[in-house]
Chains A and B, each alone.
Chain A
Amino acid sequence: MATSDSLGQFEQLVLTAILTLRDDAYGVTIHSKVEELARPKPASLGAVYVTLDRLEDKGFVTSWLSDPTAERGGRAKRCYRLEALGERVLQESALTARRIWDSIAEVWGKDWAREWGKRWGKEAS
Chain B
Amino acid sequence: MPSGPSKSAETIVGILTPPACREEVLGDLHERYRSPLQYGLDALGAVPLVILSRIRRTADPQVLVMQAFALYLSFLTAARFQDASLLQAQWGLLRLAIPAGITLFGLVLEDAYAVPGRRSPLRLVRGPIIGLGLALLSQGMLRSRNPQILLPGWVLFYGCAMSLLLSSAIRLLFPPITHGLLGVNAPAFWLKRGGSGIGETAQTCIQAIIIAAIVARAMMAAMSSGISPVTVRVAVIALVFGLVAYQLGKRT
Contact = CB atoms under 8 A, between A and B. Distances in A.
Contacts of B5: 73
Nearest to B28: A27
Contacts of A50: 49-50, 52-53
Contacts of A57: 57, 187-189, 192
A33 interface: no
Size bracket of the B interface? 20 to 34
Interface in B1-50: 4-5, 10, 21, 23-28, 30-32, 42, 45-50
B46 A46 contact: yes
A69 B24 CA distance: 11
B187 A45 contact: no
A46 B50 contact: yes
Interface residues of A, number: 31
Contacts of A72: 27-28, 30-31
B183 interface: yes
Nearest to B56: A53
Nearest to B44: A46
A100 interface: no
Contact of B25 (A47, A49, A58, A59): A49
Contact of A75 (B30, B47, B189, B190): B30
A76 B46 contact: no
Given A71-B31, A75-B30, A78-B24, A44 B45 contact: yes
Nearest to A32: B32
**Which 3 pairs across A and B sit closest by C-beta, in order of nearness?**
A46-B49, A75-B27, A78-B24
Interface of A: 26-28, 31, 44-47, 49-50, 53-54, 56-59, 61-65, 68-69, 71-73, 75-78, 83
